[in-house]
Amino acid sequence: MTRLFGTDGVRGLANEALTASLALRLGAAAAEVLTVDHRSSKRRPLAVVGRDPRVSGEMLAAALSAGMASRGVDVLRVGVLPTPAVAYLTEFYGADMGVMISASHNPMPDNGIKFFSKGGHKLPDAVEDQIEVTMESLPETGPVGHGVGRVIEEAVDAQQHYLDHLKESMPRNLAGIKVVVDCANGAASSVTPMAYKAAGAEVIAIHNNPNAYNINDNCGSTHIDQVRAAVQQHGADLGLAHDGDADRCLAVDAEGAVVDGDQIMAILAVAMKENGELRKSTLVATVMSNLGLRLAMDSVGIVLRTTKVGDRYVLEDLNEHGLSLGGEQSGHIVMPDYGTTGDGTLTGLALMSRMAETGLSLKTLAEVMHVLPQVLINVPVSDKSVIATHPEVVAAMEMAKDELGNAGRVLLRPSGTEELFRVMVEASSEENARRIAGKLAAVVAHV
């Protein structure tokens, strides 16, 4: 049986793969699994539910809320807020579970469901598997009368509590910094410009008018040219681009050069080491991070640990080893001292705080790392599970490794959310990276 949960929750085309009936059953099963250890006669369990502004979120929020209430769980709806806000509010309100309805950077027709356990933590694979099993065996009926959960619509103080948390986490005054923020017409549209303004920055917000249909539509972190152009148009010090649920952040400097998640991690790692905040002088990234990040960290005495792709795996490693900074090249940056998941708004505040602290431009700060040319090709496949072990793919990959030697790197991996196989090559020149990646992608497509 195909696993329902992917790299980051349950995701699919809303009302086709991800239906209201599936959401109802998923909400009921998750309520059973995630609140079983916290039920008492004194109070009903509580769930926090947030969403991004895409149109199907309204339908799925209603279905999930009904499913959880049918199992005796009270539901607090917090409206349109970033994923990290929902994680934070799950802990803040003392809730037993949290739910974020979002497909992150995916286009509007898609949607997704992410669960948090008590304290606002992402779920390990074993708990997700338990939810799937519970869905199959869940009885049709649940508690009755006073045992049925209540649904509390739109907690009016939720956004302010999250803003207060951001201010307490990154209190440095950002006066004098002019920033363009691309909100992707998503969950960042309201709260993120407010957070940057509250910190003292001059803020120019773009793509901050969601209409339920325009999320990620030629904007946000997957369309970085939009914020690049705006930075140069307004003469800003930097630009920040978020994705649909605002758990990631990419940047551009005053000249429009992209500063990706690897470079942001390098900047923050150096800052935290200088300030005595980088525990064990160690940074955690994924296997997709650029080889240049490892070289940069080696040069300043910082250890780089790597995990498989997915910010929750970075989180698991951070928590297991008691570390304080990790993330992904895509802009998911995790700082466990301030949050239980990646937070794009918090990342933007941290980056601007470093600029304010040092008086240096983002371009100068980013020079701590030299980015090796990296080419990523997404190859559509019919069955991504068999590609990595196919003899022709294995042989082609070995040839590529031999050709690159120590001057580059090759990585092949399945997408966690789509029927794609990702071919990534780093080399000393972009020409070599493209040539080798193209050859590998052709083999993957053929098999």
CB atoms near residue 36 (< 10 Å): 12
Q: Which residues are annotated as a binding site?
A: 104, 243, 245, 247
Round to whole Å and give the CA distance between 194 and 217.
22
Taking a C-beta distance cutoff of 8 angstroms, is the pair 248, 342 a contact?
yes
* Least confident piece of the model among 57-61, 298-302, 402-406, 423-427: 402-406
66's CB contacts (< 8 A; 6+ apart) are 24, 27, 151
- Report how far residue 395's alpha carbon sits from residue 58's, in angstroms, rounded to the nearest whole number: 48
Single out the catalytic residue among 65, 102, 104, 117: 104
In degrees rounded to 5, what are phi and psi of residue 14?
-65, 135
CA dist., res. 340 & res. 234, Å (int): 34
What ranges do the domains of the chain cover? 10-156, 161-366, 374-446
In the numeric block, which tokens belong to residue 263? Answer: 């470079």
Give the dihedral sign, CA 207/263/88/124.
positive
Report the distance separating Cα 348 and Cα 330, nearest Å: 14
Residue 100 has pLDDT above 90, yes or no: yes
Q: Is the pLDDT of residue 191 over 60?
A: yes
Q: Identify whether the C-beta of residue 355 lies closer than 8 Å to the C-beta of residue 361.
A: yes
Contact partners, residue 419, CB within 8 Å, separation at least 6: 380, 381, 382, 383, 384
pLDDT in the model for residue 154: 81
Contact predicate 302/281, CB 8 Å:
yes
For residue 241, the cross-strand partners are: 182, 250
**Residue 194 near residue 225 (C-beta atoms within 8 A):** no
Residue 45 Cα distances to 274, 292, 340, 440, angstroms: 43, 47, 21, 51
Using the predicted structure, report yes or no on whether residue 1 has a pLDDT greater than 70. no
The pLDDT, as a whole number, for residue 389 is 86
Tell me whether the CATH fold assigned to 10-156 matches the one assigned to 161-366: yes
Query: Does position 39 have pLDDT exceeding 80, yes or no?
Result: no
Q: pLDDT tens digit string along 101-144?
A: 999 999 999 999 999 999 999 998 999 999 999 999 999 899 99
Residue ranges at the known binding site for Mg(2+): 104, 243, 245, 247
Q: What is the CATH number of domain 10-156?
A: 3.40.120.10
Structure-model confidence comparison of residues 61 and 311, the more confident one: 61
pLDDT in tens, 42-54: 789 999 999 999 9
Q: What mean pLDDT is reported for the chain?
A: 94
CA distance 262 to 291: 10
pLDDT tens figures, 250-284: 999 999 999 999 999 999 999 999 999 999 999 99
Tokens 């937070």: give the residue.
343
The pLDDT tens digits for 328-387 are 999 999 999 999 999 999 999 999 999 999 999 999 999 999 998 989 999 988 888 888
Residue 206: which H helix or E strand, with range? Answer: strand 202-206
SS3 74: strand
Among the CATH numbers 3.40.1180.10, 3.40.50.261, 3.30.310.50, 2.40.50.100, which is that of 374-446?
3.30.310.50
CA distances from 445 to 21, 220, 384 (A): 35, 29, 11
Q: Is 104 a catalytic residue?
A: yes
Q: Can you read off the two tokens belonging to residue 33?
A: 């699994």
SS3 99: strand
CATH homologous superfamily of 161-366 equals Alpha-D-Glucose-1,6-Bisphosphate, subunit A, domain 3 (3.40.120.10)
Instruction: Give the tokens for residue 146.
Output: 């006073």
Residues in contact with 143: Cβ distance below 8 Å, sequence separation at least 6, in sequence order: 71, 72
pTM of the model: 0.89
